Structure 1
Amino acid sequence: MASNEAYIVEETIVQVLSVILLSPLYQGIYEKALARIQGRRGPSIFQPYYDIYKLIKKEVLVPTTSSEIFIFSPYVMFSIYLMISFVIPVVYPQPVLFTPTVDFLGGALLFSLASFIKILASMQSGSNFVALSASRILSFAFLSEATLITVFFGVALITGTNNPYVTLSYLTKDITHYLSLAHVFISVSFFMLWLFETGKLPVESSGLSELGMIDDGLLYEYSGKLLAILKWGSYIKQYLLGSVLLNVFLFPWFLIKGPLGAIEDVGIMFGKWMLLILIAVIINTTLAKLRLFKVQDFLAVAFLLSLFSLILTVLQGGE
């Protein structure tokens, strides 16, 4: 019994450390691959780490119109994302230390809470530019948040549970479960949501003069350590959503259980992420940039696909 508890603690530590330490690396690899495809040399794959380190050393400037919410919200958001890494199958295919406390729906609500806090805190700056970005995000959020929750409701109906680890086991047990039309629809829906939430759609740009700037506009008034924490938190969010997409929806196989499984699974996840990054780079470079109002159409399709999955599951009588 004691050895099992020790294994669970080890698996939890490996999973959480991989989330914290490796999430900026995957963003760096994506940006490097995107630059190479576009014929540029591009930054180092370790550039996100350099940026975080540089920002941590810089002075923090706070707008005079802001309150404590503006200052402490980056720490709260980072803590929320860190909490999620304790409960969902990011690396290891079996429950870790605090898995019984949160299910799929709870994870979705935590993601939504972090997004709400981010918007609320950014508005404290009093910047018109930030307000413009916030209004853009809110015009898309009603579809993206609805899609996220509907996807997890669909998973619960398909598998009969809202536990991500049971879902993973259910899909790997029988190939027909994985190839069912309801699962295909819900997987495509979640992949489209991941593209939007992580800024992989061609419409989004980090340039200040770009009309397609969405999420980055919320960070306009942040600086120094607070900006570093926000950027690091966004990398963790990307890693969490991408790992759920890979392990529960697209490629639920190959993960290893056992005392050394968590360590080996870090390497397996690296291979899965390389494939996901390749797909994202191809989409970003082959599709023309979407106009801003077309983002709603994109998210509406993702939401409808998740609804179709629910309808199919109900008509088929569940599993």
Structure 2
Amino acid sequence: MRASALLPWLLGLALALETSGSLEVRLEGRYAGGVFALEPVYAGSLLVSEAWGDWLAEAALYPRWNLATQDFDAGISKLELSYGAPAYALGAGASPEPTAVLRLLSLFPLAPPRPDFAPGLWGGWLEVYPDPFTRLRLALRRLRDRPLGLFRADGRLAGVDYQLTALYGPAPSPAALGAGATVRLGPWVVYGEGWRGWRTANPWRGGVGATRYLGSGLFTIEAGYREGGQLATAYTWQASESWTVDASLHSDWALGGVRLAAFAGLLHSSDDGDVTLALGALRLPGAGWRLQPSFGVCVYY
């Protein structure tokens, strides 16, 4: 489905229903090898939710248009109709299928990760709630033009939140088994996940992480293995009611060398919108550093 074909439908949806969202103008720079390129980007969000009894229609869209490259992405995270009952729920359309427990590293992504939203997959799902602490989910999705079956069990046992996942679809869709757990240890929240995949050269993947509040900020650190070691850390500091500082560092040894990505951002928030100033730096094996400065203004509606 071409993203541009959705534009008239999205505009009609925004006018017909009560919506909320944002409009953003961003300047993204690239500097490497003495060459600087500036790319204006128009981005936004459209959030819609409408209920009729036990039925619920939801849309979460994050369109993005790069003026320099003329690339447009409708940014479909959710476009779904669902029905909920006390013991079960079902839905059809597009929505994410979160399978990860780690928050910074992506060990077994179903869809290419995006920085601003979780991509939706088209299909349908059924959930059953056998008790207040357990959720069983069965989904059939389309992934890379092939069907993908998913079974997930989420629950809580002896103070530990667990997640069990099974994936299967004809190649190139994945076939894998995964398990994850989260537990609170004092001020820390400790979590981890592991995967056994088929149709891959390195079938085993896994990682652990921990997060806690330090001062007025949230600190997170994770280590994982996916065809090589990975390490990531992040800190979000609420400097004041309206100012936030974000910093992160990600290293990856899976590309035949060390890949480093660093980010620092300053965000000023108000009831009407945000102003963001950020600087990213990326180092690829044998390619040196590439700086990625950006400046954005976002208005809420």
TM-score w.r.t. length of structure 1:
0.25
Which structure ranks higher in relative contact order (CA pairs < 8 Å, sequence separation ≥ 6)? 1
Which structure has the highest helix share of the two? 1
**Greater Rg by CA:** 2
